[in-house]
Structure 1
């Protein structure tokens, strides 16, 4: 088994790459998906979030009101750290369960938006960073998520810098170009990962 860490700043195209690798046969562990699962209604994770942030972060149906919580944590680093202390250990435990079920020769891709920020880079045999210029990411966030430039910049500044991510990378996928150019890079990467997994 080859354990791969995949990251990239918001708007970089990381999710596109993770889906492309999954389509080629990778076992995908998506931290964003797991982060939603561990605070789903009825979980101890959601109970811990409510205990920390109050019932104002709940939607009428009892689920987590993500925009309400986001408004609190993206404006305050201390509050964001408190949320991360609840969510990250639960996500790591669930990730470990999924990875433990992988077989020899499998490529396990861990899609982790905050891989660099949480100091997890050294846990992976290969760290892949999807990179795009800040202005490209700002444009994408406006087009795909309807974010204002101010909102997008706030999200970007809450993450590691491009330089910090690139410093942790074993492989960099440049996503400043076309979707076809990115696909070609993913093809080359997948071939390399398969070869390494088979040799492991």
Structure 2
């Protein structure tokens, strides 16, 4: 029986990584979309070759890996270049995610993605869990964790799917407004529930 896929998402500072780590500790196979995005541009992969062909050797660091800062700056200046990059990478990232999900042997597998709703990756999942946190806590946690000013966190919150949009797509919501022990209890409760599901549906 093929495992069904749970899409796990949440805004910055919501605690989705801590939730994902606990699901993983309980035995759920986990794939992180951010890792997949890094894998597809590793040296020797076709995507990196295409990026260098288009934007030049300045896109490489001395060790042959992608110069992310240079690429970010380049596509930040041009919507057309950004679209080109997205068209190159999105299908490859999707393929990478699908390959890794295909290796799952647990009853259900988890796709963790901060942009699950915006990127269309939600189509890979049979069920969606949103880790939700009141905005003032998101700000506090992120400022503390990343040591960044409030304006910067607010700017990231603006870019990520608005909270209402994420919640509109949610099958389940884990409200993470307490401590780590509470988060772990909620994850364990959901894990037991998910093990009872067939294909992600009750």
Task: Please confirm whether the aligned pair reaches a TM-score higher than 0.5, indicating the same fold.
Answer: yes
Change (3 A) 1:112 1:78: farther
Tell me the TM-score normalized by structure 2: 0.85
Change (3 A) 1:197 1:157: same
Change (3 A) 1:149 1:82: farther
**Residues 125-163 of structure 1 deviation map (CA, whole Å, 9 limit, x = unaligned):** 210011112222222222112222232222222211001
**Alpha-carbon distance between aligned partners in 2 of 1:129 and 1:163, rounded to the nearest angstrom:** 11
- Listed as ranges, the gaps of 5+ residues in structure 2 are none
Change (3 A) 1:73 1:116: farther
**Alpha-carbon distance between aligned partners in 2 of 1:75 and 1:182, rounded to the nearest angstrom:** 40
Q: Which moved more, 1:185-194 or 1:142-151?
A: 142-151
Q: Which moved more, 1:164-173 or 1:37-46?
A: 37-46
1:15-164 counterparts in 2 under 5 A?
A: 15-71=17-73, 73=75, 79-103=81-105, 106-164=107-165
Tell me the TM-score normalized by structure 1: 0.86
- Listed as ranges, the gaps of 5+ residues in structure 1 are none
**Alpha-carbon distance between aligned partners in 2 of 1:77 and 1:106, rounded to the nearest angstrom:** 41
SS at match of 2:161: coil
1:178-193 counterparts in 2 under 5 A?
A: 178-193=179-194
Change (3 A) 1:70 1:153: farther
Runs of 4+ deviating beyond 6 Å: none
Q: Tell which structure's C-alpha radius of gyration is larger.
A: 2
The aligned length equals 199
**Alpha-carbon distance between aligned partners in 1 of 2:54 and 2:155, rounded to the nearest angstrom:** 23
**Residues 91-145 of structure 1 deviation map (CA, whole Å, 9 limit, x = unaligned):** 2112212222334x62110112111002333432210011112222222222112
Kept in 2, the 8 Å contact 1:2–1:196? The answer is: no
